[in-house]
Structure 1
Amino acid sequence: MIVHKSGPVALIGGASVPDHVLERALFHGERIVAADGGAATLAAHGAVPEAVIGDFDSIPDAVRAALPEAALHLVAEQDSTDFEKCISRIEAPLIVGAGFSGARVDHQLAVCNVLVRWCRRRCVLIGEDDAIFLAPPHMTLDLPKGCRVSLFPMGAVEGRSEGLNWPIDGLCFTPDGQIGTSNFATGPVELGVTAPKLLVILPVDHLDAVVRMLMKNPARWP
């Protein structure tokens, strides 16, 4: 591990991050880590990461030179994305990430892939509109009636639900078959799933509720 913390970590990536999205991420992180070019985003807002992790192909020279050498952690291999380089080297109860979504669909798909493969890491990623995280084995989330709750499988997974307009009980979700986008809450939502394969996508305005749930939820994937 490069970063080992007892509190949540804000992880900032190199994609464009609106000011209010960055502020949300930093608010929930007791410590700050940058993924490569995310260090430039932080520098532009006067924030200093305690660690920068990546292959350093996108961090500007001036930003890199301004950081202490001990904060720079070069991971030169090219078999993983900067997001995976970070999430695999951060041990924390929760990672709140921003700067990992944008115009490139391939980047966003790669991020979703990592969320599933590194299922032992609790991580929620936020953007302009959405918050996305891997569903734990069981969760209860306090959501208002009518709140959008999209469920997208990254592999075969089944589950049960309470508080969704269209219950998922008895359904087998697969990426090339049944999916669960554009569902919505009828009140607080309870969800249980059989495998670490289901992504939950909510309006980012409910990030606080997601953070509380992920920090307190004892149900973890092995």
Structure 2
Amino acid sequence: MSCPILHKSATILLVGAGPTSSAMIQSTAAHADSVVAADGGFKSAQAAGLDIALVVGDMDSQADLPGSQAAATITDQETTDFEKCLAVCAADVFLGVGFLGGRLDHQLAAFSALLKDQRPVVLVDEDQLVFMVPAQFEIDLEEGLPVGFYPMLQVQVTLQGVQWPLRDTDMHPAGQIATSNISSGEPLRVQTDGPGLLAILPARCLGVVLSVLRG
């Protein structure tokens, strides 16, 4: 889908219609420069008291937007509202709340969107955050934190700083995965030979993850 860019910001928070809370939206918005709502996510963002720069989607959940609210109606049914937001926004980093949990098919579609978009996109809920690992990634984590890595495509991975490390290991959804791992207290270092590795870390790691993804 090719669309003109309608909103630009260094860090954009995308708010979806999935399970979340005003407190979760507000705490994540503290890391963002602007807010864009994905269709029904407008109600959640509005309830959280946020200034919403743009509402994007097919608007099947939004028949009563305020007349002053900037909105982009995209009727394409081949993409999700999350993908529509990414298509019309430009940012160095995207955050997303309201895209994890709830209907499993919606969550899987969100993961697929992360795979398609080469820009840093971090999805967050109350407990965890999820993002596609860049080719080189390193952060400091305290010992004992639960960490997981799931290959959505075949990818070769070196993983250090965890209880069960990997070295030049071929990972695949039907083969080697690295879920249910634990940080060792050493720097977490991940190296991949291409896109496709999904990282799952505790939500409280958001600040340090963003510091690395922003470069």
Interval of TM-score (by shorter of Structure 1 and Structure 2)? over 0.9
Which residue, 36, 41, 59 being the options, matches 1:38? Answer: 41
CA positional deviation for 1:178? 1.2
Aligned to 1:68: 68
Inter-partner Cα distance in structure 2 for 1:43 and 1:117: 29
Aligned to 1:189: 188
2:199 paired with 1:215:
no
Give the secondary-structure state (helix, strand or coil) at the position aligned to 2:214: helix
Deviations 1:107-166 (A, max 9, x none): 111100110111x21110001211000000101111111111100010100111221211
Deviations 1:8-32 (A, max 9, x none): 1111011121233212221111111
Give the secondary-structure state (helix, strand or coil) at the position aligned to 1:28: coil
Inter-partner Cα distance in structure 2 for 1:153 and 1:159: 9
1:1-150 pair list within 5 angstroms: 1-5=5-9, 7-59=10-62, 61-62=63-64, 64=65, 66-68=66-68, 71-118=70-117, 120-150=118-148
Unmatched runs of 5 consecutive residues or more in structure 2 = none
State which drifts further: 20-29 or 107-116.
20-29
2:182 paired with 1:160:
no
Aligned 8 A contact 1:36 1:53 in 2: yes
> Equivalent pairs: percent with the same residue?
34
Unmatched runs of 5 consecutive residues or more in structure 1 = 217-222
Aligned 8 A contact 1:87 1:121 in 2: no
Q: What TM-score does the superposition give when structure 2 sets the normalisation length? A: 0.93
The amino acid that maps onto 2:16 is G
Deviations 1:28-69 (A, max 9, x none): 11111111111111121222311111100112x33x1x1525
Inter-partner Cα distance in structure 1 for 2:16 and 2:147: 25
Give the secondary-structure state (helix, strand or coil) at the position aligned to 2:204: helix
Q: What TM-score does the superposition give when structure 1 sets the normalisation length? A: 0.90
Deviations 1:161-218 (A, max 9, x none): 22121112132111111111011111220111111100000011111111111111xx
Q: After the TM superposition, which segments of 4 or more aligned residues of structure 1 sit over 4 Å from their partners?
A: none
Query: How many matched pairs?
Result: 210
**Residues 147 and 193 of structure 1, relative CA distance in 2, 3 Å threshold:** same
